[in-house]
Amino acid sequence: MSRITLLYLQVLVAVVALVLWQFFTTVPLFGRILLPPFFFSNPVDVFSQIVKWFSTGVIWKHLAITLWESILAFVIGSAGGILVGFWFARQPRVAAVFDPYVKMVNALPRVVLAPIFALWFGLGVWSKVALGVTLVFFIVFFNVYQGVKEVPTTVLDNGRMLGMNERQLMRHVYWPSALSWMFSSLHTSVGFAVVGAVVGEYLGAAAGLGYLIQQAEGVFDVAGVFAGMFVLSAFVLLIDMVVTLVEKRLLVWRPTAVRQD
Amino acid sequence: MEKTGPTAVALDDATVAFRLADGRVYTAVEKASLAVAHGEFVAIVGPTGCGKSTLLNVAAGLLRPAGGAVRIFDQPLAGLNRDAGYLFQADALFPWKTAIDNVAIGLEITGTPRVEALARAQKWLGSVGLGAFAGRYPHMLSGGQRKRVALAQVLIRDPKILLMDEPFGPLDAQTRQIMGNLLLELWSADRKAVLFVTHDLEEAIALADRVVIMSAGPSARIIGDWRIALPRPRDISEVRMEKDFHALHREIWSVLKDEVMKGYVQSTQAGAA
């Protein structure tokens, strides 16, 4: 299938879906409308809502807040994950002691922590950041831990035979290996940072995309809910594209990263 | 023609044992004694799984023998062997470093300024025929090219002893010959002591001054030691045509053959168990 055909078919899917949606929500069949607009809104209303948000500029504040929360959650969660991952991988005893607790906390659906964080950190940015951190931390932690553990013995022995001391092994062997594992899960960890921010906003906030959706839902403004979802999708896609670019740059030494183009 | 000068590597009754998962002790190598003189090229040949590599790891200081002693230039070996460069069988290059960075790292960690380290690394890449591949990452190089980089990585540190663990094992037959000639060419420039492990008797005879034969494991021992008096410089592919080569090969193979069969039977039994 050529690129043009593919693109054509992809656009076709969207157009058909939108047309069907518009049709079933506005044109009565056998005397009644199959998808009541109260529950399903319609594409035109949703689109005009999005246009209104952008034309009045209301949306930018919410986007900025969500982006800021995501970035903070990602940075803090990653830093923590790298630190603890390294520590546990280099100190098997510490890892063994904490192992059941790590598993316990990771098994917990993070959403239930949101009310606690709202109590602890208030309704501002930090309660959302905390929620994102609990998600990002574990992904980065497990990958860094694995990355340090899975350095091939031969590469490690080679480093030793070339005369590296522990500090140099850390810098030239363990660190790049751990980072490569972390980078390979970049999409997941960045995605979770956004999830943490949006879910946190949804459960209680004064700004952000999650807040916007929650507000619309509160007044049964279904068009607003759908509009929020579309903006959120576009937002996540955009971030994902940036991550792909960063990933290609960072993992240039990896065969998989090169084959992607 | 016994070489004078200090003994580079001396193993005295070195015994290597491992504790298995079920608590039993597996003796890989039993009372192996071996001396490699300064500037001498010694090849160790033995059937698969006889503990050749184990012996090499003992000489490198990566493994501590359960019994016996290891001496490097007449000093007992404690910890890693700092005089040795080790060429591994598996890929041991740092995948996140370019070819030139892989070669330069051995100098950089001892405090050589980066600019100088890179300049010397570039020179070494040239010596192994990869001058134009400095910026490639290991995965962009072929198996033979990676071995060349590994060789440069080891030699740039100018180790007095070269330990090689079936370094050309994963390569195809033609590449092995080319690499063998490259190794001899580089080695003849400053004659380091070499301990070269292989399961390929022909390769061993073509390269080495001495060929040492190990018995099949467990409790492998050294059961033969031949001096290879073929003239140098040698060409790996041509030396194989010579009459002396065939005579040596026949003589050594008659001893090695039984051990190879023993090793084969053991490996199939172990597989069935």
- Which residue among A157, A160, A172 sits closest to B94, beta carbon to beta carbon? A172
Q: Is A259 near chain B, with CB under 8 Å?
A: no
Quote the domain boundaries for residue B270. 1-83+206-273
pLDDT in tens, B133-182: 999 999 999 988 999 999 999 999 999 999 999 888 878 888 888 889 99
pLDDT at B163: 95
Query: Is residue B22 in a domain?
Result: yes
> Under an 8 A CB cutoff, do A253 and B86 touch?
no
pLDDT in tens, A83-141: 999 999 989 899 999 999 999 998 999 888 888 998 999 888 999 999 999 999 999 99
Alpha carbon B224 to chain centroid, angstroms? 18
- Which residue among A155, A157, A168 sits closest to B109, beta carbon to beta carbon? A168
Query: Is residue B10 in a domain?
Result: yes
The Cα of A163 is separated from the nearest Cα of chain B by a number of Å equal to 7
d(CA A67, CA A235): 9
pLDDT at A257: 45
Contact of A83 with A140, CB cutoff 8 Å: no
Alpha carbon A151 to chain centroid, angstroms? 28
Domains and CATH numbers, chain A: 1-40 (no CATH), 41-259 (1.10.3720.10)
> Under an 8 A CB cutoff, do B109 and A180 touch?
no
d(CA A27, CA A47): 18
Query: Is residue B178 in a domain?
Result: no
Assign A2 a pLDDT band (cuts: 50, 70, 90).
Answer: confident
pLDDT at B15 over 70: yes
> Under an 8 A CB cutoff, do B93 and A176 touch?
no
> Under an 8 A CB cutoff, do B88 and A252 touch?
no
pLDDT at A12: 96
- Which residue among B92, B105, B139 sits closest to A255, beta carbon to beta carbon? B139
Single-letter amino acid, residue A4: I
Averaged pLDDT of chain B: 88
Structural Rg of chain A based on CA atoms: 23
pLDDT at B221: 87
Compute how many other C-beta atoms are within 10 angstroms of the C-beta atom of residue B177: 18
CATH of the domain at B215: 3.40.50
Overall size of chain B counted in residues:
273
pLDDT at B145: 92
d(CA A44, CA A48): 6
Query: Is residue B37 in a domain?
Result: yes
Assign A1 a pLDDT band (cuts: 50, 70, 90).
Answer: confident
d(CA B44, CA B69): 19
The label of the residue with tokens 């949703």 reads: A46
**Residue environment code for B126-146, b if the CB has 16+ CB neighbours within 10 A, otherwise e:** ebbebeebbebbbeebeebbb
Task: Take residue A100 and report the two structure tokens written for it.
Answer: 């059941």
pLDDT at A70 over 90: yes
pLDDT at B217 over 80: no
Task: Take residue B87 and report the two structure tokens written for it.
Answer: 């060429």
Assign A259 a pLDDT band (cuts: 50, 70, 90).
Answer: very low
d(CA A240, CA A29): 41
- Which residue among B82, B88, B140 sits closest to A163, beta carbon to beta carbon? B82
Please report the sign of the dihedral spanned by the C-alpha atoms of residue B64, residue B65, residue B68, residue B73.
negative
Q: Which residues of chain A have a CB within 8 Å of the CB of B153? A: 162
pLDDT in tens, A144-175: 999 898 899 999 999 999 999 999 999 999 99
pLDDT at B50 over 80: no
Query: Is residue B159 in a domain?
Result: no
A140 vs A32, higher pLDDT: A140
Assign A256 a pLDDT band (cuts: 50, 70, 90).
Answer: low
Query: Is residue B65 in a domain?
Result: yes
pLDDT at B5: 65
pLDDT at B1: 43
The answer to whether the complex's ipTM is over 0.90 is: no
Compute how many other C-beta atoms are within 10 angstroms of the C-beta atom of residue A256: 9
Best residue of B94, B98, B140, B160 to probe chain A, by most A CBs closer than 10 Å:
B94
Task: Take residue B114 and report the two structure tokens written for it.
Answer: 């980066």
Query: Is residue B176 in a domain?
Result: no
pLDDT in tens, B65-103: 888 889 999 889 988 999 999 999 888 999 999 999 999
The total of structural domains in chain B comes to 1
d(CA A135, CA A189): 8
Assign A260 a pLDDT band (cuts: 50, 70, 90).
Answer: very low
Best residue of A155, A164, A253, A259 to probe chain B, by most B CBs closer than 10 Å:
A253
pLDDT in tens, B101-134: 999 999 999 999 999 999 999 999 998 989 999 9
Judged by DSSP in three states, B94 sits in coil
- The single-letter DSSP state of residue B177 is H
Give the residue from A105, A17, A104, A58 showing the smallest Cα distance to A228. Answer: A58
Count Cβ atoms within 10 A of the Cβ of residue B66 and give its class: 0-12 exposed, 13-18 middle, 19 or more buried.
middle
Alpha helix positions (H), chain A? 3-26, 37-40, 43-56, 58-90, 92-107, 114-121, 125-149, 153-161, 166-169, 175-184, 186-203, 209-218, 222-250, 255-259
> Under an 8 A CB cutoff, do B106 and A159 touch?
no
Q: Is A168 near chain B, with CB under 8 Å?
A: yes
d(CA A234, CA A197): 16
B267 vs B185, higher pLDDT: B185
> Under an 8 A CB cutoff, do A158 and B92 touch?
yes
Query: Is residue B194 in a domain?
Result: no
pLDDT at B190: 86
pLDDT at B23: 83
Count Cβ atoms within 10 A of the Cβ of residue B175 and give its class: 0-12 exposed, 13-18 middle, 19 or more buried.
middle
CA angle A42, A44, A46 (to 5 degrees): 70
pLDDT at B49 over 50: yes
Judged by DSSP in three states, B25 sits in strand
pLDDT in tens, B187-212: 998 889 999 999 889 999 999 999 99
Contact of B194 with B240, CB cutoff 8 Å: no
Best residue of B96, B102, B105 to probe chain A, by most A CBs closer than 10 Å:
B96
Region of poorest pLDDT, from A44-58, A60-74, A228-242, B167-181: B167-181
